[in-house]
A and B are shown apart, each in its own frame.
Chain A
């Protein structure tokens, strides 16, 4: 069975949107945080685990999400899975930062 991330030859693909955007600060930081998690001295997350986390997204969610939304999803999922952070901690921190 072809899974959602395995796009080669995916039917119904249309024209390629060649517009480009400068990465925003949150996108660059999502990229940076993920890379920091897999540096040799940390090895909190491995590249293959990150791929697995992205590839197991629900297909509709995968297709709708932007590139770094997928990375952020993987980052949160894996940090929670590994017990580094908890879902509650993240939600609480989001609310806390929101009030500032």
Chain B
């Protein structure tokens, strides 16, 4: 029950369950920032909506275009922010964005060992495991073991590159286009592109057998 008090900073906060300590503290900080005129309730709502509008569907759209249009893929690899803008996607994060391509020879997997840096503008909020201490610890020293845990076994001759994101650099993995998708259009292709395949812990889906 959170939609009824956005416009009035002094309205009682309605909660349908007992508040946790952290909920109370966020409520308090938010209320104080509004009272001091630093933010408005609308600012908060818009900021939440902005992130809610970001999801792996955006990244999938980019990947599908790269699969069908080699020239676009070239531009994506050369300047990712400019390329995604062609699709009407604004990457509002200040950090640089790099696209990297997974092939039969090279496999990239992305982590942020220091925290949780992630291409939110294209994939939305990072998943819990991406932010977990165990993923951050292990994927840089045993990427093959970690990928196996995710169900992805790579041949021994595939070179594995682990990309450690920073506050200034974010990565988007272009997974290989699955076999048997020659007749699919861009929209159908996009439905095969999973979030995890764009982080590099999975392959894109293979099309369902007809």
If A29-B48, A32-B44, A97-B13 touch, does A76 touch B129 (CB 8 Å cutoff)? no
Sampled A-B contacts (30; CB under 8 Å): A7-B114, A8-B111, A8-B137, A8-B141, A10-B137, A13-B133, A16-B150, A17-B129, A18-B129, A18-B150, A20-B127, A20-B129, A21-B128, A25-B23, A26-B20, A26-B23, A26-B27, A28-B52, A31-B47, A32-B44, A36-B39, A36-B47, A42-B38, A55-B114, A84-B33, A84-B38, A85-B29, A85-B33, A89-B32, A100-B12
Question: Which of A17, A35, A79, A100 is the one whose CB lies under 8 Å from B47?
Answer: A35
Roughly how many angstroms separate A16 CA and B143 CA in the complex, as a whole number? 12
Residues in A neighbouring B127, C-beta threshold 8 A: 20
B136 touches A7 (CB 8 A): yes
A30's closest neighbor in chain B, by CB? B26
Mask: chain A, 43-83; 1 = CB below 8 Å from B; 0 = not: 01001100100110000000100011100100110010000
Residues B32 and A90 in contact, CB atoms below 8 Å apart: yes
Known: A76-B29, A94-B28. A17 touches B113 (CB 8 A): no
Instruction: Please name the 5 residue pairs, one residue from A and one from B, whose CB atoms are nearest each other, closest first.
Output: A13-B137, A8-B113, A32-B47, A93-B28, A10-B137
Q: Give the docked Cα–Cα distance between A20 and B128 (Å).
A: 6
A14–B132 CA distance with the chains assembled, in angstroms: 11
Of the four ranges (under 10, 10 to 19, 20 to 34, 35 or more), the interface on chain A belongs to: 35 or more
- Residues from 31 to 70 in B contacting A, C-beta threshold 8 Å: 31-33, 36, 38-39, 43-44, 47-48, 51-52
Q: Which of A47, A72, A85, A96 contacts B22 (CB 8 A)?
A: A72
Interface size on B, residues (CB 8 A): 50
The complex places the Cα of A98 from the Cα of B132 at a distance, in Å, of 32
Which residues of B in the span 106-136 have a Cβ within 8 Å of any Cβ on A?
Answer: 111, 113-116, 125, 127-129, 131-136
Smallest Cβ-Cβ distance to B131: which chain A residue = A67
Cβ-based interface call for B78 (8 A): no
- Given A9-B137, A32-B48, A97-B13, verify A76-B113 contact (CB < 8 Å): no
Contact residues in B for A29 (Cβ distance below 8 Å): 26, 30, 44, 48
Q: 11 additional contacts, CB 8 Å, given A19-B129, A23-B125?
A: A7-B114, A8-B137, A15-B149, A16-B132, A31-B125, A51-B114, A90-B28, A90-B32, A94-B28, A97-B13, A100-B13
Selected from B28, B51, B113, the residue in CB contact (under 8 A) with A31 is: B51
Query: Which of the residues B25, B27, B167 comes within 8 Å of A48, measured between beta carbons?
Result: B167
